[in-house]
Amino acid sequence: QFHMIKHEDLTWKESLGQGSFTHISRGSKTDQRDGVTHSTEVLLKVLDANHKNCWESFFEAASLMSQISHKHLLLVYGISVHKSKNVMVQEFVKHGALDLYLKRSTSVSVSWKLDVAKQLACALNFLEEKNITHGNICAKNLLLAREGDPSADNSPFIKLSDPGISMALLGKDVVLDRIPWVAPEVLDTLEIELECDKWSFGSTLWEIFNNGEAPLQGLDPIQKQQFYEHFSNLPVLEWTELADLIIQCMQYQPELRPSCRSIIRQLNSLITSDYEILHATGTHPK
C-alpha cells in the first residue's frame, strides 16, 4: 500500500532537527516520468535506529496519510528501506513546524491564528467523515506551507503531518509527556477514538493562541498525571468565545465534545475584528 522509493533515487541534504524518535533532513528525490528525469524537493524522516522495532507503526502512520488526500493533509510520496534505514519521504513544507514558527514570530495576528485553526478543523472534519483518528494533533505536527502576508492579503496555509509512532508502542512516559494533548481516556486504554482528536484540537488551539507556548510545559510527568486526576482545565484565554470552544473540546467525557461541524461553525462565528480592536486598543469599537 506504499510507493517504494529506491535509496539511489534519494539525495540527502542538511539535517533539520528531530521529531520524536525520528530525525528529519532536507533532500530530493529523482524519478523518471515519460522518459524525463524530475527532481523533487522532499523531507526525509528517518526512524531512529534505537526504535527500529517500531518501523511497522512508523510506516503505518505514513500509510494512513497516503491512503487519503486532502489539501490540509501532508503528502507522503512513499518509503525507502535500505540496510537499517527506514525513511519516510514527504513533501517538503516550506516553513516547517508551526510551534517553532509561532515561537519565533512576534507579530502573528489573531485573524492569522483563526485562519490556521479553521484549516485544522477542516482537516479533522475530513478525517472524521472517513472515521479516521489521527491521534497526535499538536502544533508540532502542523506544518506551515505558506506564511500568509497581511499586506498582500493572503492567508497562511497549513498541512497536518503524520501521527508518528502509535503511543501504544511508546510506553507510559511518552503518553504522560503528551499531556495535555493526549485525551485523558487514552491514559487507561491507550486506545484512540475520534473524540480524542477533538481533545487534542482544544489543546492545539490553546497553543496557537498562546504563540506556540506549550500548555503545562513547566509540569513534570507526575504533575501532568495529577492535572488529569483532578479534572483540571488549561488556563483560560482572555477571548472568552475561544476559551469556551477550548473547554468544549477538552471535556473529560468524550461524548460531550463537539462534532467537527460544530467546531467549524463556532470558529466561523468568532468575530476577529472586535477582538483585535479591543485587544489592540483596549477600547470597544463604536
Strand, coil or helix: what is 43? strand
| # chain residues binding ligand 8MY, by CB under 6 A | 16
Judged by CB, which is closer to ligand 8MY: 165, or 196?
A: 165
Cα-Cα-Cα-Cα dihedral of 60, 198, 167, 144, to 10°?
A: 60
Cβ at position 257, least distance to ligand 8MY in Å: 25
Sole window of 92-100, 201-209, 210-218, 248-256 interacting with ligand 8MY (rule: CB under 6 A): 92-100
Judged by CB, which is closer to ligand 8MY: 85, or 111?
A: 85
- Write the CA distances from 249 to 144, 211, 253, integer angstroms: 23, 19, 10
- Looking only at residues 132 through 171 of this chain, which bind ligand 8MY when binding is defined by CB under 6 A? 141, 143, 161
Written as nine digits, the cell of 117 is 485553526
- Using CB under 6 A as the binding rule, whether residue 264 contacts ligand 8MY is answered as no
Cβ at position 11, least distance to ligand 8MY in Å: 16
Q: Which helix or strand (DSSP H or E) is residue 10 part of? A: strand 10-18
Cβ atoms < 10 Å from Cβ of 106:
5
- Using CB under 6 A as the binding rule, whether residue 16 contacts ligand 8MY is answered as yes
Q: In whole angstroms, what is the distance from residue 113 CA to residue 208 CA?
A: 6
Sole window of 63-71, 77-85, 90-98, 185-193 interacting with ligand 8MY (rule: CB under 6 A): 90-98
Strand, coil or helix: what is 183? coil
Residue written as grid cell 479516521? 132
DSSP E strands: which ranges in the chain?
10-18, 22-33, 36-47, 76-82, 85-91, 142-146, 157-160
Among 73, 89, 93, 102, binds ligand 8MY (CB under 6 A): 93
Sole window of 30-38, 85-93, 149-157, 198-206 interacting with ligand 8MY (rule: CB under 6 A): 85-93
Chain residues in the site for ligand 8MY (CB under 6 A): 16, 19, 24, 43, 74, 90-97, 141, 143, 161
